[in-house]
Amino acid sequence: MYRTQLAKQVSTKRILLKQFSTTSQLSSWNDIPLAPPDKILGITEAFKEDKNTKKINLGVGAYRDNQGKPIIFPSVKQAETKLLQTETEKEYTPINGSKTFQNIVKNFIFNNSNKDANGKQLIEDGRIVTAQTISGTGSLRVIADFLNRFYSSKKILVPQPTWANHVAVFADAGLTPEYYAYYDKSKNDLDYANLKKSLAEQPEGSIVLLHACCHNPTGMDLTPEQQDEVLQIVQDKKFFPLVDMAYQGFGSGIPYEDIGFIRKLTALANSNKIPSFALCQSFAKNMGLYGERTGSISIITSSGEASKAVESQLKKLIRPMYSSPPIHGSKIVETIFQDEALLQSWLSDLNQVVGRLNTIRQTLYDRLDKTNYNWDHLLKQKGMFVYTGLSSEQVIRLRNEFSVYATEDGRFSISGINDNNVEYLANAINEVIKK
């Protein structure tokens, strides 16, 4: 089932790419077919056109406050004020980004801000190559292109479901995505037995995509014990782990507590049991730097000598792609991490954001009718989303009858819920689940 679904998506994409691969095949601009609209952005457009004053947008994964408004973290504002006073140039950054930014990312994530001896050892041994990228999506595209050029396998295993853009990014870069079991929507829980089985059946040396925390879209993460079992399969099958970490901090409200999975990987890398892996990371969510496009790709190599070659090839790959990354977002990150007061302010800002999300999650749960539907999974999920288990028909009813906009897989961005609309939303859901 997983292979059939994904094969159709990838086949269609490759047919279109082949059809328009040379200019000689393009006789007229009118020959270009209309691409389907992006599902999530399409929801936002439909929401804007809706005249219902009670309308709710639960589609876009960007934080909103309790008044339904976007915010700028106070710590980010303070950092920008400091930058305005001290910044002296707007020069290009190097191809792989600011060295200061790279070192901050390495220490923050892999050394766990001076708390992880294994990560510290990898840094000291020169085994971590970090490049600043155009947010998380850019880092995914860079590593996908890199693996297509240099890794032995083109197959990348992705969880079913996963973030909608994962498959498109990997397929466009020349990799061959294939689903592995992850979530059982009929039970609203991890499909853990099938997860292990489907991974164990894959060819040795495949690439495997793993979410570090706050799995998108389900919000259901592996327990530490399950992580150990999955990482044992990774070792046994000699997989190359590609870790996506877009929501660090949104699980617990404390970034350091959300990277237990990374600490396990650094320990395994330090003992050469999993000698190499890659991590795609973004400050878009946990600093609210959505439009600044601030992220990184880190590749853990087998040796300091190998790192030199990897870094050179990363630069060669990035140069014709976008030449060098933007600087403003990375300077904000640098300013915050280089000022202890600002750093503590940011950690407090993030904790408050996650606290509001957790409170509104509980509030929604409390107001949902549990007579014919078990909602306990909402409280097990972590991060910015709830994976409701509602059918596409029920989601369409929410949109058509109540002006509640969400993706048809039943994923809700809970940042769109607040004290002013949670009662209305719960009543709408209770209506569509009536038998």
Q: What is the pLDDT of residue 13?
A: 52
Percent of the chain with pLDDT strictly greater than 70 = 93
Q: What is the pLDDT of residue 3?
A: 58
Q: What is the pLDDT of residue 23?
A: 45
* Selected catalytic residue, list 116, 145, 163, 375: 163
C-alpha torsion sign, points 414, 416, 418, 423: negative
The tens digit of pLDDT for each residue in 135-164 reads: 999 999 999 999 999 999 999 999 999 998
Q: What is the pLDDT of residue 22?
A: 45
Domain 92-338 adopts which CATH fold?
Answer: Aspartate Aminotransferase; domain 2 (3.40.640)
pLDDT band at 320 (very low <50, low <70, confident <90, very high): very high
Q: Where are the domains of the chain?
A: 40-73+343-433, 92-338
The tens digit of pLDDT for each residue in 115-128 reads: 788 999 999 999 99
The tens digit of pLDDT for each residue in 93-119 reads: 999 999 999 999 999 999 976 778 899
Q: What is the pLDDT of residue 308?
A: 97
Q: What is the pLDDT of residue 154?
A: 97
Instruction: Name the nearest CA neighbour of 357 among 288, 423, 416, 425.
Output: 416
Q: Is 163 a catalytic residue?
A: yes
Q: Is the distance from CB of 101 to CB of 259 less than 8 angstroms?
A: no
Which pair of tokens denotes residue 377? 């999974």
Q: What is the pLDDT of residue 19?
A: 46
The tens digit of pLDDT for each residue in 270-306 reads: 999 999 999 999 999 999 999 999 999 999 999 999 9
Q: Is 346 a catalytic residue?
A: no
Which pair of tokens denotes residue 161? 């479901």
Instruction: Name the nearest CA neighbour of 172 among 14, 296, 39.
Output: 14
**Residues of the chain by 3-state class (helix, strand, coil), percent to 5:** 50, 15, 35
Q: What is the pLDDT of residue 60?
A: 79
* Selected catalytic residue, list 244, 258, 349, 409: 244
- pLDDT at residue 2 above 60? no
Give CA–CA dist 175/343, Å, rounded. 38
- pLDDT at residue 20 above 50? no
- pLDDT at residue 18 above 70? no
The tens digit of pLDDT for each residue in 308-317 reads: 999 999 999 9
Q: Is the distance from CB of 37 to CB of 31 less than 8 angstroms?
A: no
Percent of the chain with pLDDT strictly greater than 90 = 85
Which backbone phi and psi does 157 adopt, to 5 degrees?
-90, 125
Give CA–CA dist 182/263, Å, rounded. 22
What mean pLDDT comes out for the span 368-386?
A: 94
pLDDT band at 350 (very low <50, low <70, confident <90, very high): very high
Give CA–CA dist 351/112, Å, rounded. 17
What mean pLDDT comes out for the span 32-45?
A: 82
What mean pLDDT comes out for the span 73-100?
A: 97
- pTM as predicted: 0.91
Work out the mean pLDDT of the chain and round it to a whole number: 93
Q: Is 244 a catalytic residue?
A: yes
Least confident span in 28-37, 223-232, 372-381: 28-37
Q: What is the pLDDT of residue 5?
A: 58
Q: Is the distance from CB of 204 to CB of 237 less than 8 angstroms?
A: yes
Q: What is the pLDDT of residue 28?
A: 83
Q: Which residue has the higher pLDDT, 314 or 42?
A: 314
Superfamily of domain 40-73+343-433: Aspartate Aminotransferase, domain 1 (3.90.1150.10)
Q: What is the pLDDT of residue 152?
A: 95
* Selected catalytic residue, list 106, 120, 285, 331: 285
